[in-house]
A and B are shown apart, each in its own frame.
Chain A
Amino acid sequence: NAGVTQTPKFRVLKTGQSMTLLCAQDMNHEYMYWYRQDPGMGLRLIHYSVGEGTTAKGEVPDGYNVSRLKKQNFLLGLESAAPSQTSVYFCASSYFRANYGYTFGSGTRLTVV
């Protein structure tokens, strides 16, 4: 099925550990995004990419890094995890100007203890 695939679906990290979340899309979308969703805060944009090899900061970029080496993949890295990064992370992709909306993955639930 065409869409956005996120791995892993669940992860528990200890404070200070690092990890990478992987997002893959097979719709040939130019744009890809990483959001986090917290209770009472809604979806907040972490980083985004407008094409292969490009990345840009969103609303809440601190503590995260991203890379888009291939058009279909967008990686989100946590170098030194903190409890404040406990959240549900969603990857999404779209065409330019999102005329057809964003396609979201099913999310990664991350707990940092």
Chain B
Amino acid sequence: SQKIEQNSEALNIQEGKTATLTCNYTNYSPAYLQWYRQDPGRGPVFLLLIRENEKEKRKERLKVTFDTTLKQSLFHITASQPADSATYLCALEPNSGYSTLTFGKGTMLLVSP
């Protein structure tokens, strides 16, 4: 069966450091991989999308890598700030059929001052 795995344990880092979150998947052939941010009591907010033929995508302090051989995506936040504290979700869109996203369970990031 298809699986998307994100570290269930919260990631605690100090302000200014780089946060790295991992998304692994099995039995899946995604066309796109997306990352979302979710704050408590709010809906997820889209951050970045990376296509299967792209290795890396950047947006301001965010960087996403996508390795279809390892079936893994890494999400980096450089120069992290307490305001980056949230749960980060990865989501995969299949290579065929309609556009529906399957989400991982998310990893909570806590950035301390």
Contact = CB atoms under 8 A, between A and B. Distances in A.
Interface residues of B, number: 23
Contact of A58 (B32, B45, B100): B100
A74 interface: no
A52 B41 CA distance: 30
A107 B93 contact: no
Nearest to A90: B43
A98 B89 contact: no
Contacts of B102: 45, 59
A95 B43 CA distance: 18
B41 to A, nearest CB: 8
A97 B43 contact: no
A97 B93 contact: yes
Contacts of B100: 33, 45, 48, 58
Interface in A15-50: 31, 33, 35, 40-45, 48, 50
B36 A101 contact: yes
A39 B107 CA distance: 13
Nearest to A30: B99
B28 interface: no
Interface string B29-66: 00110101000011111110100000000000000000
B49 A107 contact: no
Given A42-B105, A45-B100, A48-B100, A98 B42 contact: no
3 cross-chain pairs, A with B, having the tightest CB-CB distances, nearest first: A101-B46, A104-B43, A42-B105
